[in-house]
Amino acid sequence: MKIEMKNITKAFGTNKVLEGVNFTVQSGEVHALMGENGAGKSTLMNILTGLYGDDGGEILVDGQTTHFSGPLDAERHGISFIHQEMNNFLEMSVVDNMFLNKEIKNKFGLMNENKMREQAKFYLSKLGAKIDVDKPIGSLSVGRQQMIEIAKSLMTNAKIIIMDEPTAALTENEIAQLFEIVRGLKKQGVGFIYISHRMEEIFEIADKVTVMRDGISINEYQTKDVSMKQLVKDMVGREIGDFYPDRNPKFGKVSLEVQHLSEDGVFQDVSFKVQEGEILAFSGLMGAGRTEIMRSIFGIDPHNEGKILIDGQEVHIHSPQEAIKHQIGFLTENRKDEGLILNDSLTDNIVLPSINGFVKHGLVDDKAINEFTNMLLKRLSVKAQSADVTASSLSGGNQQKVVLAKWVGSGSRVLILDEPTRGVDVGAKREIYDLMNELTDRHVAIIMISSDLPEVLGMSDKIAVVYEGKITGIVDTKSATQESVMTLATGGVKDGTRN
């Protein structure tokens, strides 16, 4: 099977998103699609699978002009799309999610549950995944859900599988496993369109790569013939230099100190401090409990033991409002569910934690709010038509910047960033790093949870490693290596690093 997209154009209202994109993929190859946040990658795929109509151009399938009426139609023709944000029904079981809209029925029109269960197991085992198909899908890790998504594609006999940032939330192991599966399927003649912001992955898995910028496809390469530098240049339109800016931190007094924080069955005896101007990274495997620790500090979830001190004073935080009052900010890892109000404007989203500071004579001061949000949007170079568009209309990476803008704007002195660059392109990553530096220069203390080891090593001053709810070590970043951090993250304790 061969899909050719020729000169595709698309505008949302007055916002021209695609202005002539060419892209080709065929059976048995992995073709990567790269580009900055908002370049139009997801939009292009939505056009291919018929979710959006195009304004111009042509789609050829095996040489025939084709137009899919929607995702289901595309699926029937062997094209399956695994979305950037998975849309599972978390309370429903794995089987029920897999067979949603494709239920197998017996002759009375009732669902044949045994058969569905059998098939679900069959396709999952093909991927080497042992998953209890009767469990609610929400109880499984994102990596597992991804696996299920692929099994679903196999079930529909997909000949081309589109993966939109599949690894954004996967652990190293899960990524290795995913690539194993992709290689296997490739041998069986399945073609892949692979969208990712992670360079290493492109070179590991893709045969070809196409770069998009500002709505046009810039270049197509054989992966083996191109350098990382060239790809970055094509994407951003200029050289960006190093991935990570230099850090010249000046530490002040201890901003936040946590002593012996515990919550039964979640995390135990967590102690650490972070100083003004410092970036303390939290590393560890997914599910190690890093997010849970931070949620507890921020007052979303409880803890049954331990102390939290701010500027040396013990504080009792029982809710996010209290945390915000103590000038703590929290960028959650899940922007769709916890970070953004998707149907609200960028302005309303950004101003929310600071709204009480914009009252004049009892009424909100819209003029000041607009200035404030426009300044932040500019500062973070958010790609949006205006501050009045809804958050839902932004690309994934730009949504992330909006969440960041909201906490930067709230004047936090301790900023907890949970996976701050997830789904963010190289150029924007660099901007976020620069911003982190700027914040620490202004004496903000930053706690950064990140599953991206190079990022942890590149951007932090100290690294706290969490394994199964416990801190197995706090190390100085200068003396840390990928290996030493991984050892701690998998439970091995290195001599002399224990704090």
Partner 1 sequence: MEQETKVSQTNEKKSFDFKKFISKMGPLVALIILVILVTALSPGFIQPSNLLNLLRQVSINAVIAFGMTFVILTGGIDLSVGSILALTGAVTASMLVSGMSAGLALLVGLLMGGILGFLNGVLIAYGKAAPFIATLATMTIFRGATYVFTNGNPITGTKMNNSFLFQFMGRGYLLGIPVPIFIMAIVYLILYLLLHKTTFGRKTYALGGNEQAAYIAGVKTKIVTMWIYTISGLMAALAGIILTSRLSSAQPDAGTSYEMDAIAAVVLGGTSLAGGKGRIFGTLIGALIIGTLNNGMNLLGISSFYQQIVKGIVILIAVLIDRRSSND
Binding mask 37-56 for partner 1 (x = CB under 8 A): -x------------------
CA distance 499 to 494: 11
CA dihedral 240, 242, 245, 246 (to 10 degrees): -140
Beta strand 79-82 pairing with 160-164: parallel
Q: Would you state the structure tokens that stand for residue 19, as one six-digit string?
A: 């202005």
Q: Which is nearer to ligand ATP, 40 or 353 (CB)?
A: 40
**What's the first-to-final CA gap in the chain, in angstroms?**
57
Q: Which is nearer to ligand ATP, 208 or 429 (CB)?
A: 429
Residues 6+ positions from 60 with CB-CB distance below 8 Å = 2, 3, 4, 5, 6, 66
Residue 358's binding partner, choosing from partner 1, Mg ion, ligand ATP, none, with beta-carbon cut-off 5 to 8 A by kind? partner 1
How far is CA 56 from its chain centroid? 31
Please report, for residues 79, 85, 294, the alpha-carbon distance to residue 168 in angstroms, rounded to integers and kept in the order given. 22, 10, 20
- Residue among 35, 143, 166, 284 that touches ligand ATP (CB under 6 A): 35
Binding mask 329-368 for Mg ion (x = CB under 5 A): ----------------------------------------
The site that binds Mg ion (CB under 5 A) totals a number of residues, namely: 3
Q: Which is nearer to partner 1, 70 or 492 (CB)?
A: 70
Residue 39's binding partner, choosing from partner 1, ligand ATP, Mg ion, none, with beta-carbon cut-off 5 to 8 A by kind? ligand ATP
CA distance 35 to 222: 16
Q: Which is nearer to ligand ATP, 96 or 425 (CB)?
A: 425
Instruction: Please report how many Cα atoms fall inside a 13 Å half-sphere around the Cα of residue 106, on the Cβ side.
Output: 7
Residue 445 main-chain phi, psi, to 5 deg: -95, 130
Based on the shown chain and the rule CB under 6 A, indicate whether residue 396 belongs to the binding site for ligand ATP: yes
Based on the shown chain and the rule CB under 6 A, indicate whether residue 409 belongs to the binding site for ligand ATP: no
Q: Interface residues for partner 1 in 326-365 (CB under 8 A)?
A: 330, 332, 337-344, 348, 351-353, 355-356, 358-359, 362-364
CB atoms within 10 A of CB 272: 18
Based on the shown chain and the rule CB under 5 A, indicate whether residue 42 belongs to the binding site for Mg ion: yes
- Residue among 9, 15, 223, 327 that touches ligand ATP (CB under 6 A): 15
Residue 248 main-chain phi, psi, to 5 deg: -120, 70
Among the listed ranges 22-30, 76-84, 244-252, 408-416, the one in contact with Mg ion (CB under 5 A) is: 76-84
Q: Which is nearer to ligand ATP, 17 or 317 (CB)?
A: 17
Among the listed ranges 201-209, 390-398, 409-417, 463-471, the one in contact with ligand ATP (CB under 6 A) is: 390-398
Residue 341's binding partner, choosing from partner 1, ligand ATP, Mg ion, none, with beta-carbon cut-off 5 to 8 A by kind? partner 1
SS3 373: helix
- CA-based diameter of the chain, in Å? 73
Based on the shown chain and the rule CB under 5 A, indicate whether residue 196 belongs to the binding site for Mg ion: no
How far is CA 8 from its chain centroid? 27
Based on the shown chain and the rule CB under 8 A, indicate whether residue 90 belongs to the binding site for partner 1: no
DSSP 490: T
Residues forming the site for ligand ATP (CB under 6 A): 12, 15, 17, 35, 37-43, 84, 383, 393-397, 425
Residues forming the site for Mg ion (CB under 5 A): 42, 84, 396
